[in-house]
Homo-oligomer: A and B are copies of this chain.
């Protein structure tokens, strides 16, 4: 059983993908942030009328996907061909869900880009709401699905 990011001596490396053919890659990651009812309502109403909390979080998420390789030490630099961040309100749990979809024609997958985009979008919501609620919790951050690449397609629930 091997960590691909460690060489035979256990040292960190950026994996060699030189020989691989570029293929179309796609990954979708999601995550959630829970908050007080008061805070949830404020974002939601804002979301309808002014849109700014989620609009800022969306921009932050998109921009973060482009900088993933600067943040995650062993990630390859990739030229993303698409990025979108969407939000959904879960009334039952007072959670906002962020979903980030990323595409690329490259030699490695874009899972980390999608996860980074979703996470930074959620952290930005935290930042903009923290004056109202300091007990927000980010959870359920995971890879929902991915397509392309040697390891084939993946669906979280699959």
Contact = CB atoms under 8 A, between A and B. Distances in A.
Interface string A45-79: 01001111101101110111011011111111111
B60 A71 contact: yes
A78 B66 CA distance: 11
- The number of chain A residues touching the other chain, given as a range, is 35 or more
Q: What number of copies of this chain does the assembly contain?
A: 6
A60 B70 CA distance: 9
Contacts of A71: 60, 63-64, 67, 71, 120, 123
Interface in A101-158: 103-107, 111-112, 115-116, 119-120, 123-124, 126-132, 134-143, 146, 154, 156
A14 interface: yes
Interface of A is mostly: mixed
Contacts of A24: 18
A1 B103 contact: no
A72 B124 contact: yes
Contacts of A141: 137-139, 141
A88 interface: no
Interface centre among A67, A126, A154, by most chain B C-beta atoms within 10 angstroms, is: A126
